[in-house]
Amino acid sequence: MMKKAMMILVVAALMAIGPVSAMAVVTTINVYPTDVPDETMPRSNMGDAPSGFGQDSWQGPATGKTNWHARYLADGDALSTLFPADAATMTVADLASISYFTKRPAATPAGRDWWIQVYTRPTGSGDKSSWYHDRFINNYASHTETDAWTQYSTDSGMTFQSNGLGGSVMTFSEFVTNHGTELIEMISVQTNSGWDGFDGYLDGLVITLTNGEVGRVNFEPVPEPAGLGLLGIGLLAMRKRRRA
C-alpha cells in the first residue's frame, strides 16, 4: 500500500487569520519511485534537492513517462493523507496555491519540464472520462530555467489550460472562479510518454488550502528496508555477547 510506504511528519504551525491566530496543520510526506501507481518509475537523483526538501529528489525516467498522484481514495489515497479533514469535500475554490521545484539540464529540449495536472471528480454530466469530470494542465512549456532548482507557483504566474493543451489559458484566479465548485479528484505531477530519456528533476510539491492547511511532498529515492538498521544493531549485540 502506498500510504504505508509514506513517512508522514505532521507539525502544527501558527498562522494568523485577520486579528485572530488559529492553529493550522502542515503535513509532509515522503514518496518514493515505488509509490508511482502506474507508468514508469522515475530515476533517483542522489544528493541534490531544493532547500527545505531533504537530500535527494527524482529524475525523469530513462524510457516512458512517470506520474505521481495526490488522489482521493484511489492510488493510495494520498490526498486524504495530506488533508485528512478536507479531502472528501475539497473543491477547486479551496486551493490557495500550488507550487513545485524543477531543475532542467541545459540540454533539455525547449518546452519540456515536469508538469502539474489537476483533475476534478465526475459529476455524471459533461464528464470528459469515466473517472474525471475535467482536467487542467499548467504552463510547464514556458519553464525556462536550466541547471538550477526553480520554484514554479500559482503565486507567481502559473496558468492552467482546460482539457490539456487544447483548452483556453486561465490565470489561477480565473481557474478558481470558473471551476471553483468542482471537487478535486487528484493533483498529479508527471512527464510525457514521448520524452524518452527526459533528464529533468523534480521535488518539493506544496499544496496550500484557503483554510491555511498545507500539504508538502518530498520526492525521495527508494528507502532502506524497514527494520534493516535495527537488525544490524541486534546482530552486533549478539556477537558481543558471544565474545564475552
Q: What's the total number of domains in the chain?
A: 1
pLDDT band at 112 (very low <50, low <70, confident <90, very high): very high
* Structural domain for 55, as ranges: 2-243
Q: What is the CA radius of gyration of the chain?
A: 20
The pLDDT tens digits for 127-148 are: 999 999 999 999 999 999 999 9
Pairing of strands 214-219, 20-31: parallel
SS3 at position 129: coil
pLDDT band at 227 (very low <50, low <70, confident <90, very high): very low
Distance, CA of 200 to CA of 186 (rounded, Å): 23
- Provide the terminal-to-terminal Cα distance of the chain, rounded to the nearest Å: 43
The pLDDT tens digits for 44-62 are: 999 999 999 999 999 999 9
Hey, what's the cell of 67?
506520474
